[in-house]
Amino acid sequence: MSTPDLTHSPDHIPGAPPADQRELVTFRIGEQDFSMDIMLVREIRGWSEATVLPYAPRYVLGVINLRGAVVPIIDLAARLGLAPTEPGPRHVVIIVADGSRLTGFLVSAVSDILSVGTGEVQSVPSLNDMSASFLSGVITSKSRLLRILDVAAALPGREEEADMQVQAEAECLN
């Protein structure tokens, strides 16, 4: 990360980190450190009460009004299989844009912005942890393990929703 070479990156955007560098937003869920690519983050805001959605998976807290857009809020802890968050005023929502689709992730706190070399990112060790499937890599530094979130995987899948709906209907019917 000490010798950024700009010459071989024709698509380099001024102000963006060099091609072999990534900028990550780090945040905490419970006691664990996570991060995600900063390019996906649209804004960070405080928690506000969401409107509950029927037939939604447990980790979908509801929808909020983000300047006229209806944006679903995901409890990232619940999504990753950790203990569900009891949202309160101290919690933080990271608004993420996947293409044109906006989603809010509820986390405990946002800590830092980190610039890392792509070489530092290691592949996810095959842990016995269900959250592993939502990670795109890990970074170890100073005895700390930083997980990089695979945002696309953590979004509520549309097929999954359909499954949930069917399930919900089935529950409803029995």
Contact residues toward other proteins (CB under 8 A) are 49-56, 60, 63-65, 67-72, 100-103, 156, 158, 161-162, 165, 168-169, 171-174
Q: Which is nearer to other proteins, 64 or 135 (CB)?
A: 64
Q: Which is nearer to other proteins, 53 or 110 (CB)?
A: 53
- Give one DSSP letter per residue of 64-99, joined into a string: EEETTEEEEEEEHHHHTTSPPP---TT-EEEEEEET
Smallest distance from other proteins to CB 157, Å:
9
Distance CA 7, CA 116 (A): 19
Give CA separation, 128 vs 13, 93, 122, 131, 154, in Å: 39, 28, 17, 9, 18
Smallest distance from other proteins to CB 81, Å:
21
Q: Which is nearer to other proteins, 73 or 139 (CB)?
A: 73
Asked if 145 contacts 135 with a C-beta cutoff of 8 angstroms, the reply is no
Q: Which is nearer to other proteins, 71 or 146 (CB)?
A: 71
Q: Strands of 21-29's sheet, edge to edge?
A: 109-117, 21-29, 32-37, 144-149, 135-141
